[in-house]
């Protein structure tokens, strides 16, 4: 009985620490930031190969990040597979320059930078009274 308790505790700890229990199974965590000149989206994508498993696309003002994860984990008492397709889309600002979008992957973070055109000053319209 005493040897079973540490093993059970270890397995329960691993179970609670799994990413898919804490964050959802097909969700990409994002953060975004906008300045006057660019819009930046950062996505958490640890454990994927950006050349094979990540696709970034833009269509009709919507930026889509799609990734596929295939991972096998083996411990002393069991092996576990985690895999799936993950996708997240965000609407780009109306002044986004879609042709100039750049993407960079470093240490599990995908950073997509979208250049922005300068917003013209609003033109004031005179109101005529009769």
Query: Which is more confident, 73 or 127?
Result: 127
Phi, psi of 12 (to 5 degrees): -65, -40
- Band of pLDDT at residue 18, cut at 50, 70 and 90: very low
pTM over 0.75: no
The answer to which of 12-21, 73-82, 85-94, 97-106 has the lowest mean pLDDT is 12-21
Domains within the chain, CATH numbers bracketed:
25-115 (2.60.40.790)
Nearest to 65 by CA among 82, 50, 78: 50
Is residue 58 scored above 70 in pLDDT? yes
For residues 88-104, average pLDDT: 95
pLDDT tops 70 at residue 11: no
pLDDT of residue 14: 53
Could you tell me which residue, 126 or 75, shows the higher pLDDT? 126
| pLDDT exceeds 50 at position 17 | no
Q: SS3 string of the chain?
A: CCCHHHHHHHHHHHHHHCHHHHHCCCCCCEEEEECCCEEEEEEECCCCCHHHHEEEEEECCEEEEEEEEEEEEECCCCEEEEEEEEEEEEECCCCECHHHCEEEEECCEEEEEEEECCCCCCCCCCCCCC
- Count of CB atoms situated within 10 Å of the CB of 39: 21
The CA-atom distances, in angstroms, between 129 and each of 74, 123, 124 are: 79, 19, 16
pLDDT at 6: 61
Residue 24 confidence (pLDDT) above 50: no
């Amino acid at each position: 009985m005493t040897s079973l308790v540490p093993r059970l505790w270890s397995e329960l700890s691993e179970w609670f620490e799994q990413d898919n229990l804490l964050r959802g199974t097909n969700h990409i965590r994002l953060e975004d930031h906008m300045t006057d000149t660019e819009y930046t989206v950062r996505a958490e994508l640890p454990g994927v190969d950006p050349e094979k498993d990540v696709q970034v696309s833009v269509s009709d003002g919507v930026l889509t990040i799609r990734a596929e994860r295939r991972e096998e984990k083996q411990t002393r008492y069991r092996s576990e597979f985690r895999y799936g397709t993950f996708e997240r889309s965000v609407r780009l600002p109306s002044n986004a320059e879609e042709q100039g979008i750049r993407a960079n992957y470093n240490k599990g973070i995908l950073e997509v930078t979208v250049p922005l055109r300068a917003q013209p000053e609003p033109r004031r319209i005179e109101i005529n009274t009769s």
